[in-house]
Structure 1
Amino acid sequence: MKQMNNYIDEVFYQHDAMLEDVISSIVENGMPAISVSPSSGKLLTMLVSITGAKAILEIGALGGYSGICLARGIEGEGTLTSLELQENYAQLAAQNLAKAGYAEQVTYRTGPALENLENLVAEGQRFDFFFIDADKDNYENYLAYCIKLANPGAFIVADNVLAGGSVADPEAASKRYSAIMKKFNVTVANHPQLESVLLPIGDGMTVSKVKK
């Protein structure tokens, strides 16, 4: 799996100073190096652009790498709302998004994501595109909230669904969340309100369309 992803990144990734600066800033701030892979980021940009999404919700900001990738896909006016548990992570992400020229389009909400998701529901907010990349224990809860907050035909993308390949390969090193991801994938695949597929890019992404 790693070999395959290295090949994809090597062939399809072009030098991107802005995103490489984000990676450097994450390391400099002592944050975990767990941003999406370059090809996964490129896929996010393409999916937002293809779907024409104008209102995007990101669950898990880290240092802003995926946020920039999502914002790049917005054509014309559009907004990114990003949920992040840790204030210092959100601050760094906001700085990086501002450097990339998206300060006016992005809003950060800090604190537990489930509380913020409940607030968004109460406010009557609706979104066209969702990206889930936060604590794995709550993936199914996040999915349920995304469906509640979705406009008809919205897309929901979830990262790390292959858990380093361990969901499919018994010889791959198991991760703490391997069993959680296995269950999540089955839920997504069989959900009556979703049409879904799993793409083996990066650490695996499920892409789901909310049925109209």
Structure 2
Amino acid sequence: MNIKPLLMAFGVVAATALAGCSTIGGPVHTASYASVTDAGYKLPAIPVAKVPAQYRRQIVSYETREAPGTVIVDTTDKFLYFVMPDGKAMRYGIGVGKQGFEWSGTARIAMKREWPTWTPPEPMIRRRPELAVYRGGMGPGLQNPLGARALYLYKGGRDTGYRLHGTPEWWSIGKAMSSGCIRLLNQDIMDLYNRVEVGAKVIVK
């Protein structure tokens, strides 16, 4: 009896089973990285083959005591989890603050904005004087650093100055490049925006 085909079949089954340990509900949602027109702006497609697979949006097993609807940001592994029922979470790849600009703690989403205005904080303007022209705000658009959506983090009723937001710089996902805010692919922040509620708890660790 030739057992080679059986061994090959077993290998396929085993690989599928192992993949299912971390990802639930089928393949990564690559279709949602296509070009999309939103509010008159045409977001370009993400070259998804160039984005490491672990940073593409996917449903994963995720055990936590936090309630569904909570957002948990893992700045070490560069993941953001939107907690779902039954031990699952939607996981997104993120870019985080570079050294010296990190932030951690617990906050709440106080506001949600589509195609937000970006206003650089004064400390950033002091570091980069050329941004002074945007002291009154940069209007929405494809080059706006906040991207297609922004979620504003407040703690104790005060604005932390930190945001969960989109970015056109897809290559920055998985890296520490920002001035402290948590950035997601534009298509991913749009997905998260539609899931999360104002008032939701956000844990950044």
TM-score interval, normalised by the smaller of the two chains:
under 0.3
State the structure with more CA Rg: 2
Relative contact order (alpha carbons < 8 A, sep ≥ 6): 1 or 2 greater? 2
Q: Which has the higher strand share?
A: 2
Q: Which has the higher helix share?
A: 1
TM-score by length of 2: 0.26
